[in-house]
Structure 1
Amino acid sequence: MQQNDNIKFITDCWTQSVVNTGFYDEKKTACFWDKRSGEFAAGMRDAWRGKKTDEILSFLESSGFSPEGKKVLDIGCGPGTLAIPLAKTGAKVTAVDISSGMLEKLKETVKKESLAIDIAECSWWTADIDSLGFRDGFDLVLASMTPGVKDFDSFKKMMACSKGMCYYSNFLKRGGDPVQNEIFMLTGRENPAGYANGMMYPFMYLYLLGYHPEVRISHSVWKEESPWEEAGRKTAEFVGRSRECDEDTLNVIRECYKKASPDGIYRSETDVYTGMMTWKVKDF
């Protein structure tokens, strides 16, 4: 009885934390990631992103997963950060994302390199896994740093698609940008950083069910440098995911970034801790 109570309490907490973010409007979310698709596709070619991808593939290997001939579902695949290297090493990948912009970038690579990747544009929050033929259909199901798996229901749906292993990663801690913090204070908006959908709830849910996922934690410092106008635009898009930005809010954002960029360039460093975990759903 106590275990059932514990599971109910953690899933209730998880659900409420997502409600508090106010981020999860499907249309706004798709638009947000469409605008960033070019940036993310270009980022796949940088050394830091390549190193992170290698770390994930190495973790999967050490967890006992070999991609050759396996069926893989990549939820929130983006431009193919993981789908592409897994397909190149012999996996049969199905990649889904809510963003048509991200999927267009992936389709370009698939066509250019003749990769075995099936692509589907859909929202994981409302996807019917039975109609899609996904239930119990994959040897590995991935959800890597994606808002696609945002709560108990979408996490449970992810697990239902696996007949073997699952991989999940998200933030443990992400330091706040000082200018963004100032903007939230000046505009009276709630800073969503404290409610970020991260590792805690998924891990505790699995633990309470009796799973013992393998976990790897990493630390990095994200450095960004861009014209203050571009930095302000990105923050306006971020804020606009939960509520429309009126002209007063846009003016506050512009002035904050302009003030913090005396030479016209905004520079920031963000301390980031992320977690990865794997578990075998059919071994339990």
Structure 2
Amino acid sequence: MPGIINWDELWKAVHPGGFHHNGDPAAYWDKKAKAFNQRVMKHREWAEMQVASLKLQPHETVLDIGAGTGRLAIPMARMAKSVTALDRSGGMLKCLKANMQAEGISNITCIQRDWEEIGVDEIPPHDVVLSSNSLGVVDLRTALAKMDQLAKRAVYIFTFTDHRRDGGFMEFLMPEHSRRSPSWPADYLIIYNLLADMGIHADISIHRFESSEYYANLDDAVASWKEMHDISDEKVPKLREFLSQKLIPTDQGLQMHRRSKIARISWQKDMQFEV
């Protein structure tokens, strides 16, 4: 039974512009795929830690929603019987297939579909259903219900606890266009509370994530961030100013070190009861 707060509607209010990147999210991520792949596939230690927490068994199947270029799908495929990698972006899945070939992985099936559009009758149930920083949906309740329906053992959701995983870049660049009111709760709290309203009693834990990226020089860093964040030419001086304040000289080049916190929301299907 819904509580006093309508968490589903609050989710929509927190994301008034949605997640549709100028109306075509697939095209947006197609464009970003190669640069995104280069960045995320470097963080193998964190990926291995995330996958280890799932306690996958050799006989189990995994559905990875918004699999991207395979940061988690590839290590999961080494532990599980098979992985279904679902992503709306053909460019992302193309990178994933290249990563599979490079890693000698053959038990990942790629499906190019949008999670909001695919029906539960179009994909078989999997032992584990996973979403890592990929719940860019408008109808959160329906998305969560589908995850629960298609999971036989457990569901896992990883999501950042705030919007400063870019080191505060967007706030620095466009402080006049703050994405949310300070009084609004973080996404992970909305997800957790909506699950409770749905009768799903989830576990939640917060984990610290640190990452470093290195650049040959400031021009190299500016070019990389300009491409990844779609920075217009007129805002490049502001980008250069931001990076000059954040980058630290090291023996490996200029270092961008970032700290974030990630929430893991999960529930075991055999631990759920009628309410």
**What amino acid does structure 2 have at the position aligned with 1:256?**
K
Where does residue 120 of structure 1 map in the other structure? 111
How many Å separate the matches in 1 of 2:76 and 2:169?
A: 38
Where does residue 83 of structure 1 map in the other structure? 73
Q: Deviations over 1:139-195 (max 9, x none)?
A: 11000111445622222222221122100010112436455324323xx53435967
Where does residue 174 of structure 2 map in the other structure? 184
Q: 1:169 to 1:196 in 2, by over 3 A?
A: farther
Q: 1:220 to 1:81 in 2, by over 3 A?
A: closer
Contact (CA 8 Å) 1:174, 1:271: kept in 2 or not?
A: no
Where does residue 106 of structure 1 map in the other structure? 96
How many Å separate the matches in 1 of 2:188 and 2:62?
A: 22
Give the TM-score taking structure 1 as reference length: 0.76
The alignment partner of 2:71 has SS state of: coil
The alignment partner of 2:129 has SS state of: strand
- 1:235-246, aligned counterparts within 5 Å? 235-236=229-230
Where does residue 140 of structure 1 map in the other structure? 128
Give the TM-score taking structure 2 as reference length: 0.78
Question: Is 1:36 the equivalent of 2:29?
Answer: no
Where does residue 159 of structure 1 map in the other structure? 148
Q: 1:164 to 1:262 in 2, by over 3 A?
A: closer
**Which blocks of at least 5 consecutive residues in structure 1 are unaligned?**
238-249
Task: Please provide the CA RMSD for this pair.
Answer: 3.1
Where does residue 50 of structure 1 map in the other structure? 44
Where does residue 240 of structure 1 map in the other structure? none
**What amino acid does structure 1 have at the position aligned with 2:115?**
W
- 1:1-284, aligned counterparts within 5 Å? 4-6=1-3, 9-18=6-15, 20-25=16-21, 28-43=24-39, 45-46=41-42, 49-61=43-55, 66-111=56-101, 113-130=104-121, 132-134=122-124, 137-148=125-136, 151-175=140-164, 177-185=167-175, 188-191=176-179, 198-224=187-213, 226=215, 227-236=221-230, 250-260=232-242, 269-284=257-272
The farther-off stretch of 203-212 and 120-129 is: 203-212
Contact (CA 8 Å) 1:71, 1:91: kept in 2 or not?
A: yes
Structure 1 stretches of 4+ moved >6 Å: 193-197
**What amino acid does structure 2 have at the position aligned with 1:254?**
V
Q: CA deviation at 1:269?
A: 4.9
Q: 1:165 to 1:229 in 2, by over 3 A?
A: same
Q: 1:148 to 1:262 in 2, by over 3 A?
A: closer
**What amino acid does structure 2 have at the position aligned with 1:50?**
R
Contact (CA 8 Å) 1:73, 1:142: kept in 2 or not?
A: yes
Where does residue 218 of structure 2 map in the other structure? none
Q: CA deviation at 1:45?
A: 4.7
**Which blocks of at least 5 consecutive residues in structure 2 are unaligned?**
216-220, 248-253
- Percent identity at matched positions? 20
Q: 1:212 to 1:153 in 2, by over 3 A?
A: closer
The alignment partner of 2:54 has SS state of: helix
**What amino acid does structure 2 have at the position aligned with 1:96?**
L
Q: CA deviation at 1:210?
A: 4.3
How many residue pairs get aligned? The number is: 256
Q: 1:254 to 1:280 in 2, by over 3 A?
A: same
How many Å separate the matches in 2 of 1:139 and 1:101?
A: 27
The farther-off stretch of 213-222 and 158-167 is: 213-222
